[in-house]
């Protein structure tokens, strides 16, 4: 009966279902794109930090240190508003994804660098002794061990990305938080719908944490 009685929470929740779904979809899409982009670029940048030619290492180090030192909200605002001053107009959603990806890439790169350099040097020497070329040594010996070591901080970065998507609301991206705010503005059920939003964020982050745990089990056969 609650779904048919105007003014009740269940009725308002049913009325707001499509708004919530659109907000969840935007949050998941932004988070997913950011995690994939940051992982790919972070692995590349982290490898350069560990093994790259020194001018490339210097550029990579500057990028990582600068991006890690800038608040992600500033990056989002600059990407959306600042680039427009130079005639580069980026849609709000993609501006947010670019800014989050740039920020997360720096963290993934630093995590990978630390993980790669924690692999004993003897591993690389042994791989070289049996005739493996550098790309093969990296792919078959170093990275599998480094990836297992960087999984916990990678999961933390993924969780921070999901929470960071809430900042996209400041540039008008209707993700889960802004969608919830719009719903609350209509029905004034502040606590109820913010609890729903919090639960949805918890489910998303719990899923990412479980994925990280599954990947850790997948790589647990490695022994150092």
Structural domains of the chain ordered from first start: 2-218 (1.10.3720.10)
pLDDT at residue 201, as a whole number: 95
pLDDT at residue 1, as a whole number: 46
Q: If residue 120 lies in a helix (H) or strand (E), which one and from where to where?
A: none
Please give the Cα distance from 2 to 187 (Å, whole number). Answer: 16
Contact (CB, 8 A) for 34 and 214: no
* Burial (CB count <10 Å: 0-12, 13-18, 19+), residue 100: buried
Q: Is 149 helix (H, G, I), strand (E, B) or coil?
A: helix
Instruction: Tell me the backbone φ, ψ of residue 142, rounded to 5 degrees.
Output: -80, -55
Q: Model pTM?
A: 0.88
> 204: how many CB neighbours lie within 10 A of its CB?
20
pLDDT at residue 163, as a whole number: 93
Which residues in the chain show pLDDT less than 50? Answer: 1, 224
């Amino acid at each position: 009966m609650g779904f048919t009685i105007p003014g009740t929470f269940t009725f308002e929740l049913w009325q707001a279902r499509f708004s919530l779904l659109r907000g969840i979809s935007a949050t998941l899409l932004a988070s997913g794109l950011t995690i994939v982009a940051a992982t790919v670029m972070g692995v590349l940048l982290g490898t350069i930090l560990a093994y790259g030619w020194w001018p490339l290492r210097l550029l990579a180090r500057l990028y990582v240190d600068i991006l890690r030192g800038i608040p992600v909200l500033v990056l989002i605002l600059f990407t959306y508003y600042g680039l427009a001053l130079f005639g580069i107009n980026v849609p709000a959603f993609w501006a947010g994804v670019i800014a989050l990806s740039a920020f997360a890439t720096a963290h993934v790169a630093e995590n990978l660098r630390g993980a790669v350099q924690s692999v004993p040097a003897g591993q690389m020497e042994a791989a070289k002794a049996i005739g493996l070329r550098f790309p093969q040594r990296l792919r078959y010996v170093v990275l599998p061990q480094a990836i297992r070591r960087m999984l916990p901080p990678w999961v933390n970065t993924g969780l921070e990305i999901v929470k960071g998507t809430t900042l996209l609301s400041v540039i008008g991206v209707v993700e889960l938080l802004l969608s919830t705010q719009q719903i609350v503005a209509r029905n004034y059920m502040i606590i109820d719908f913010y609890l729903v939003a919090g639960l949805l964020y918890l489910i998303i982050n719990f899923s990412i944490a479980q994925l990280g745990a599954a990947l850790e089990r997948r790589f647990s056969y490695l022994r150092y």
